[in-house]
Structure formats: C-alpha cells, structure tokens
Structure 1
C-alpha cells in the first residue's frame, strides 16, 4: 500500500497551522482509518529542524500501518504563522495540539487519538492530555522538568553569546529564540506534578545513550496509569546535524508496534512502497511578515502551497505581497535547500526571508528538492544528500511549473550553502530558462564531487583556518595563552608556512593569468559565462566564512573585473556565522538582500557594492 500526504493550513482560533495529513493512499479522509488516529507533537528550536526527517518517516510508517496521522508546526515555528517572541507560547502550543486533535476527530473516522511527542513536544503532549480526552501517549525522551530544559537551552545560548544591538528580552539557542516569558513558563513545568487523570495508556521511549530514569514512569504508575517503557536506539543520530541524521527505524517500529497493540487501525500495508503528495482545500492564507530592524510592525503577505512536477514530487510554498491581483509581478525569487535542512531553512531563515521579501514587493518560492524535506518519499534517490546528482533537473522542473502553471516570466535563483551551489550551476546549465540572476550566500564549494566533505572541502580548509587565526589574533586571551605556553606553536608555524605557500601559488597564478600565459580557472570561465548569458551573479558572504577566500583564490582577476563593470555584486555581513544563527545577523542578511533585489519590483537604484 502507498502513502498519501496532504498538505494544508489548519485554521485555528489563534491562527493557521501548517499541517500534513498522512493516510494510506487509497483512503479518503472523511471515511479513512479505524478507531485510532495520531497527532505528532514536534520538538522546538534546533531539535525541530534536526528531527524533521525522522518524524516524517514516523508519520509515513504510522499511515502505512493504517493510522491517520497529523504532523504540524506550532504557531511561531516552521511554516506556520506568527513568531517565537509572541506572548503565551506554551499555552498557544497546547491550544494548537487540542485544535489538531479536534480536527482529526471531525475530519476522519477515528474515535480515539494518540499523541506522539519528542522532547519538548512530548512534554506538551503530556500537558495536553491533562486538558482534553487523549487515549494514548507516546513520550519520546520527554523533558520532565522544565527547569532542566531551560538550563540546557541557556547553556547553549551562553556558548554562542555575543554582544547584540537589540534590547534583548530573549535567549537564542542554535539560531532559535525563546522569550523570557516563555522561559519562565517552562521553568514552572514539572510533569511529576501534572499527571494526566484520565484512562490514558502511556509509552515512554528513552534514548539509548543514557541510563534509564524511571522516576516519571513510577510517578504515572502511582496514579494507576498503565505505562510501558522501552529504549529507542538511534536517538543521537536522529538529532545530528541535518546532513548527518540517520532515521531510527528500530525506535519507529517499536512505537508503531506498541500502538498496534492498543487500538485497531484501518487497512494497513507491510511497507509504504511509494508516496503521493496532494493539497487540501485550504492551501492559501494571509501570513504576517516578520518585524525586523527595517520593519517595526508586521504586515500581511499571502502564502500558497504548491506541488510541482509531472509526478507531483516536489513541494514548496509561494509567498506573495498582498495585492488586488494574484498575477505575478516581477521576477520570482526561488530559494533552494540549504544543506539537508527542509524548506524552512536553518534557523527558520527561509520562512522569515520569504515573508520579508514579499512585504518588500518580491514574490518568493521556497521548496524541497525531491530527495529532501517534505518532497522526499520512499523511492527518493540519495535521500537527505545536500548535493544530489539530479538537483539541477529538479530545479528546472520547478521553474517550468512556476512558469507554465503560475505565469512567472523571470526567476532569481538564491540559496545558502548547497543552495548557492545549485543556484550557480542552474544559472550555467539552464540557458533556456528565464533566469535573470543567481544570488550565492556563503557557498562552501563551487564544484562539489562525490567523496568531498559535506562541511568544507579539504582543499579549502586552509582558507577556513586562515579566517580563524585572523580573528584569533585579535583576542587578548589567546595572546595570554600563547605566553603561558598553552598554544601549539609548532602547529601554528606549520600552518603559517602552508598558508604562505598557498598565497605564493595564488599570486603567481594571478600574475600568469594577467599576462595571458595561463588561461582562466574553471570558476573564472564560468563567471564569464554568466556575463555572456546576460545573467547577473551576486555573492553575500559572512565576513568570517571561507567562501570569499575560495572565490578570490580561484578567480580573483575575473571577479574583480566583473565587479568593476557591475556584472558581479559582492556584499559582506560582519560577525555572522555560516548559517546566520544570530537574529541580528539574519535581519542584516534580509535587509541586504531586499536592498539588492527590490529594484526588480520598484526600480530602486541598487545599493553600493563592496570591493573584492
């Protein structure tokens, strides 16, 4: 049996929630399922991003077993409306869960519901069970005591702390925000003092890398609640960096098997052999653009769900300014996946960027390649690979759909990291598509090959190290460590010689190119191909990221000539890391991109570019 995923906006009193309903492919929602349906409760922050792949697999496995399953984003997270600094986050998220339970009961044939939560999602599921009728709980490594969770998040925030120009009323952990109000509410949570009082049956899935703590399970048993406890292997791999994640199939199988023993399902299959993507009735809503340094009040934009391709295999979200006509106006900005992160982008960057661009007058489309995120299915080739062989063909299919079905006539390709790699190669390889510009944000390589590192190619490691030492010498503490003999001087000397040799080679190569003794490098020739095709190319670099050094070492002369003739644009964001994990730096990136691109919508003059 195949699995069908239907995407829609679930309308709630607090706002629309981005939702996927997973069903057996032959089932129709009003009559599908047996007695039991499932609502999956996500973790939040970086754990939401890292666990997205595995929770999608979990939802597919539950649907294949015959259980109608809802997977959704809380308000202020993922693709849903609102933002993380809005008030009453915990209460709103509990209301979101209740609304999804009500929707599932009203729109399918299920009469019983199980909540399946991971980390803080498990905590919310347990709290929600005390507010409404829930028949089964699956709690995957729940945060039993909110104070402990807050300590973890605060420690992460302190590790990356830096001076900000904001009046800060939040902490930022791995690129995600928690307001002081939310932190105080989290501290008040203690699941041992808030035990469900119904007839729920509970499964606790403990991670396999730590010793088991049965205190919460024993607390539930003291309240005569039936509890089973299992170890779920693969927990750490599930929450690794997105490109390194591994799906914990054994743990997922244990969850499905436990639920199968509790409640009857509808027709089931042994394996979900294929996956079909569809759209529900509610596939458009008015979103609020994020308030940034540039915009002090959020404004409405419109978001619509799109499935592209003849096989309907690629999912994306179109964000447009609110206007009287839905007809396209100006070129469409197309954001390709950053690494293996699904279309929300690292730190929810693509969602906020799309809405800010739309508020500034530019239509924007964020999507998943066929092997990533919500496009990925059981038959996907190279699942979760950030540089798949078919990436350019995928993007071509998306552009053709947007052109023929939605009427867009021109495109601006953009992306961070591997998304910039794809924007670069699509700009070179798709001469018949109406691409007007490629915007490359922090590329780590221009020519990825199988076997190269997914983080930074070893050939350019010296550039990364050079950037590190460039900033390290500005630290008084590092000089103190050097004087105390706590620094490996031999390594520094070795590195310095290696850097010197590389700079000599680059200087010699540039001189020979200038004298026309050596031909331009591959990158230099490809930059010229953009110019010859009449397409613009732009770069936005974090000042400390190695991408700029790679550009200079490979194509300094040609890039400089093109920049001087306005055929190439170059901008820097100071003190930003690779994925712009600081809110202030994300706002600066957004503002820079808007000022660079808005002339396409309003014919404003372009901002001054920086020197190579």
Structure 2
C-alpha cells in the first residue's frame, strides 16, 4: 500500500463527493467459458512488447476485434485488473481482444532512455493493431484507450494506424493539464519536480524529455481522416470538456458523448479496485452496433505456453505454469545463462500484478539477471493474469491458495528447468506468503526467503485486527502541526528514532516477560520458532520510514530478537525509503543491497 492514496490529484471531483458507481463490482476473474488468455511478443528488436490475447470461442467469434490501450504509471498498475476482466468479458461476447504494455513499461523491453519514448508508445499502438488484425483475421478494429492510452490510440490513428473506430475513456486531451496532475501527485508524495523537469510520480520515473513530450499533447489539433466513428466517455463528477468532440464533429466524424461514474474506483489501490459497470456496459452496447465485417481466418491459438523477448543481454520468457492453474509468470535470465544458481521466485505484493509496486519487481528481476541470478515473477491465482481456481475469491491480498500456488510453480520449474533449490522473495503480503511457504514446505527445496518490508507473520487475521498506530510513532499529527516548518525533515527523523526506541523497548519488555513466565509465546512467535527449526535462511530488508517492523516485531516478541542474536535473521535497513521505495534513489539502494546479499551465498 502506498503512503498516500495516489489518486488525490483528482480532488476536483470531491466537490460532488467523487461520485462512485453504485453498480461497480469487484473483479471476479472467473474466466468465461471458451475464452483463452495467451501471452505473445511483438514489435521491433530491442523494443519488443509483451501482450495478452483474449481469444473468444470459435463459435462466437465476430469480425470486429478490440485493442485495449491502457494508461501508464500508477493508473496502469492500479487499473490492470479492471482491464483483464473487461478483456475477458469482451472476448466472451465474441471479440478477439489484445492488451499490451508499452515499451519501457510493465513487462515490455525498452526504456525511457530512448530519444522519444512517447513516439515509441504511439508506434507500439500501431504494432499492436497490426498484430491483432493478423492474429484475429478481423476486418474491423476498435481501439479502446484509457487516460493516456486514449491519447496514444487517437494519435496512433492520426499517424496512420489501422484503427477503424475509437473509444476514448477519460482521455488525456491536453498534455499540459496531464503534466500538472502528475506534478500534483509527485508533490503529494513529497517528490517535487527536479531541476531538469523530470518527475517521480508514485514510484514511476518520468524523464524530462518524456515530460516535455507529454506536455505537447493536444488532441484538439489532431486530425482523423479515416476514422469511422468514436465514443468519448467522461467523468460524471467533472464539468464536460467537449473540445475533442467538437474537433471530431468538425471533421465529419460521428461522435457519441457520454459521462459515467466509477473513475475513482478504477484507479484506487489494487485491493480496492472495482469494475465501473455503467461505463463497461455503455462501451459494450456501442461496440454491438451493426457491422459488415465478417470473421476471417484466425491463427490457431490456445497452444502457446510461453512468449519470449530479448532485453539486451537478458531474456524474458512469459510462461503459463502449473497445468490447469495457468499461473502467469515471467522468467528472467541472462541470454547465455549456464548458471546452476537457484531461481528467485518473486511473489505478488498485495494485489498488484507481477510487476510489483511501480514496477519494483521488474527492476529487481532484471538487476538479478545481470548478475547471473535467474528469477520468476508470477501472479498468484486470482491476481493479475492468473485465473482463480473454481469458486476461489479473487483480488485478495492474502488468497487462501497462495502457498499451494507457490508449490505448484516450484513443481513446474523442477520439471521445466530441473530446479531443485529455490529462493522466495516477497514484498509486504508477498513476504508473508514466502514465510508460510517455507514453513509448510515438506521437501526442503527452499534455501532462503527474502522479506521486503514485511507487515505480519499471521496474515489477514492479524492485519484486520491490528489497531491503528497512535502516539509519537505517528508522523501524521506532527506533519499537520509542522506544515510550514522548515525543519520538517529533522522532526521526521526524530519521530522515526522515537518509533525505533519504542519498538526496542516493547520487544525487550516482551522478552523479559516471557523469561519470567509472565507472558506466553504468541502465534507469530511460535511460527517463527518453527521456521528457525527448518534451517531456512531469513533475510529481511526494511525501509527506514516503513512502520511495518513495529507491527511485526510486536507480533513476534522476543523470538525475533532471539533470531537476530543467533544469526538466524539478517536485517538490512534501507535509508530514506518508504514502504514501496517510491524514489529512484531508495529503489537503487534496495536493489544493490539485495543483489549483494544473494550473491554472497551460492544457492545451487
């Protein structure tokens, strides 16, 4: 979870109560009968992108295909689950659907070091449109773009992409306004713009060149000579801006303009994400208009279990693992890897999909691969691109089948790669799942677990029952009193020191009480002692400004202190970092420390 709700930049809608969609529903991920998800790679060398096809049943397949263009940054991560389910629904209605990550984002190759990243993103929309037409055999293609993805789809069509119809969903029509919103989010996270104009927004870096290119976006000056028609969906809690509508109509393009609720629920924190049912229904109805397009010859699908892309000297393979579980995972390794090192399995953080908070897991995986350590970042069942089995509840921070999924992935890699030893790595809730897997595993295949900012050893029960932190350990009351103080950083450091002193005193007192027989070991302490008996190494990386260690050390009591004294636990503290390592500098410190730790031990 981020320290601030990262959608605060839309506070303009608060005047109307930020009207939520009363019909909005939780993501279910019950993949409709006959729909098949399949990973694929396309694009130019060095800038290949990862996409996911959602194939409809051959019996229902239509001649109209749908290309989903997602947004970037935190809007991409937070709304990811919405678009997975929306793609499934569209495919169930007979539309072949493709969604994908732009170069340098998500699981795709490339990066912002390119001279013109925005141009590459627009070009990627063209690639995706060509790929979708080729794979589906459809004569008609509709692009549905969300936020910046809407602008990219519109600009791609203006540059000649083979898109027949457009849906612009809460579109970024004016780049200057969008950059102002990004700056507001950055400031809310105490990350003011750098002197060169670059931004760090909720953990995502926007290089100065990209910021300048984004600022230049202006759909009111674009032309769409071959566009058949368009649907533009705005928010119902903001005043309508019809300049793009007017621009299209002036060019003779039929435009349908609608407003629907639910935007906030799409881009809030992943565990709280909801499907905006009204908007989805409106898009589906508009798509269903009569079409003369006939289904063409689609390529054979449903057999591919992997897609491979090259990233410099690295190779990433997207696999569907564990048989019918179809767990989506990306295996990252050096291209010429001959290492026998144990792979690092990277588990989901919360319900963010496998890329992790602001792409943290991708950065970790690629840094490890450059040092010769392979990894697999994957989605637990009911998260990201992995479907839930049976009637399992989805989009859960602590899914009931998480440990079974970990074991199933280990079994698959044992057969696929002849792996016999593993390292588990998890951030936040992923740390808990890694701990539980090591505790329950009966075949001694786990050498080490790496916990990054763990919050609990007891899972959902402990998190729901934990009281809110109060007193001097909370920074918020101090912040409220010191909004205008120039020495806020000093006070924040002092508050952090007081918090650590309090933790130390509570742990010490708990140890004394246990030795005197005044306090029995709690469930977390018992679990931790059982873990120690397994002989699995435990490495813990903690952000200096993360409150999680207070909860965890209080849970574990003297058992944690005992583990530290006996060398059963290694703690590594990352300076000037928060829970999600939302700055490039803190992220770099974490990754360097993490790589050094894993390189120090030969996990074969």
Shift of 1:59: 1.2
Does residue 469 of structure 2 align to residue 458 of structure 1?
no
| Match among 158, 170, 186 for residue 130 of structure 1 | 158
| Match among 95, 100, 103 for residue 67 of structure 1 | 95
Where does the alignment leave 5 or more consecutive residues of structure 1 unmatched?
Answer: 268-276, 289-299, 482-491, 604-612
Provide the C-alpha distance between the structure 2 equivalents of 1:511 and 1:214, rounded to a whole number of angstroms.
Answer: 68
Provide the C-alpha distance between the structure 1 equivalents of 2:131 and 2:501, rounded to a whole number of angstroms.
Answer: 64
- Corresponding position of 1:5: 37
Alpha-carbon contact 1:208-1:235 (below 8 Å) kept: no
- Corresponding position of 1:585: 586
Alpha-carbon contact 1:20-1:70 (below 8 Å) kept: yes
Alpha-carbon contact 1:74-1:80 (below 8 Å) kept: yes
- Corresponding position of 1:22: 54
Shift of 1:557: 3.2
Shift of 1:478: 5.4
Cα pair distance change 1:601/1:503, threshold 3 Å? closer
Shift of 1:425: 1.1
Provide the C-alpha distance between the structure 1 equivalents of 2:418 and 2:195, rounded to a whole number of angstroms.
Answer: 43
- Corresponding position of 1:303: 316
Map residues 200-349 of structure 1 onto 2, 5 A cutoff.
200-263=228-291, 278=302, 280=304, 283-288=307-312, 300-323=313-336, 325=338, 329-349=340-360
| Match among 216, 228, 242 for residue 188 of structure 1 | 216
| Match among 356, 363, 373 for residue 362 of structure 1 | 373
**Equivalent residue of 1:369, what SS?**
coil
**Equivalent residue of 2:340, what SS?**
coil
Shift of 1:129: 1.2
Shift of 1:474: 12
**Equivalent residue of 1:600, what SS?**
coil
Provide the C-alpha distance between the structure 2 equivalents of 1:127 and 1:218, rounded to a whole number of angstroms.
Answer: 17
- Corresponding position of 1:383: 394
Alpha-carbon contact 1:336-1:414 (below 8 Å) kept: yes
- Corresponding position of 1:543: 544
Shift of 1:219: 2.0
Larger mean Cα displacement after TM superposition, 339-348 or 241-250? 241-250
Cα pair distance change 1:169/1:17, threshold 3 Å? same
Provide the C-alpha distance between the structure 2 equivalents of 1:587 and 1:363, rounded to a whole number of angstroms.
Answer: 19
| Match among 176, 181, 184 for residue 147 of structure 1 | 176
Does residue 384 of structure 2 align to residue 395 of structure 1?
no
Cα pair distance change 1:233/1:222, threshold 3 Å? same
Cα pair distance change 1:534/1:114, threshold 3 Å? same
| Match among 100, 114, 120 for residue 92 of structure 1 | 120
- Corresponding position of 2:63: 35
Does residue 457 of structure 2 align to residue 446 of structure 1?
yes
Alpha-carbon contact 1:67-1:265 (below 8 Å) kept: no
Shift of 1:224: 0.8
Alpha-carbon contact 2:426-2:450 (below 8 Å) kept: yes
**Equivalent residue of 1:70, what SS?**
strand
**Equivalent residue of 1:373, what SS?**
coil
Shift of 1:578: 0.8
Cα pair distance change 1:549/1:405, threshold 3 Å? same
| Match among 393, 407, 422 for residue 418 of structure 2 | 407
- Corresponding position of 2:555: 554
Shift of 1:396: 1.4
| Match among 62, 74, 78 for residue 50 of structure 1 | 78
Provide the C-alpha distance between the structure 1 equivalents of 2:571 and 2:195, rounded to a whole number of angstroms.
Answer: 30
**Equivalent residue of 2:558, what SS?**
helix
**Equivalent residue of 2:315, what SS?**
strand
Provide the C-alpha distance between the structure 2 equivalents of 1:48 and 1:239, rounded to a whole number of angstroms.
Answer: 8
| Match among 207, 224, 241 for residue 179 of structure 1 | 207
Provide the C-alpha distance between the structure 1 equivalents of 2:307 and 2:475, rounded to a whole number of angstroms.
Answer: 46
Cα pair distance change 1:282/1:480, threshold 3 Å? closer
**Equivalent residue of 1:283, what SS?**
strand
Shift of 1:558: 2.9
Count of residue pairs the alignment pairs up: 558
Cα pair distance change 1:218/1:583, threshold 3 Å? same
TM-score w.r.t. length of structure 2: 0.85
**Equivalent residue of 1:311, what SS?**
helix
- Corresponding position of 2:363: 352
- Corresponding position of 1:485: none
Where does the alignment leave 5 or more consecutive residues of structure 2 unmatched?
Answer: 1-32, 296-300, 489-494
Provide the C-alpha distance between the structure 2 equivalents of 1:558 and 1:478, rounded to a whole number of angstroms.
Answer: 40
Provide the C-alpha distance between the structure 1 equivalents of 2:456 and 2:205, rounded to a whole number of angstroms.
Answer: 30
Shift of 1:197: 1.7
Alpha-carbon contact 1:144-1:191 (below 8 Å) kept: yes
- Corresponding position of 1:271: none
TM-score w.r.t. length of structure 1: 0.84
Shift of 1:262: 4.7
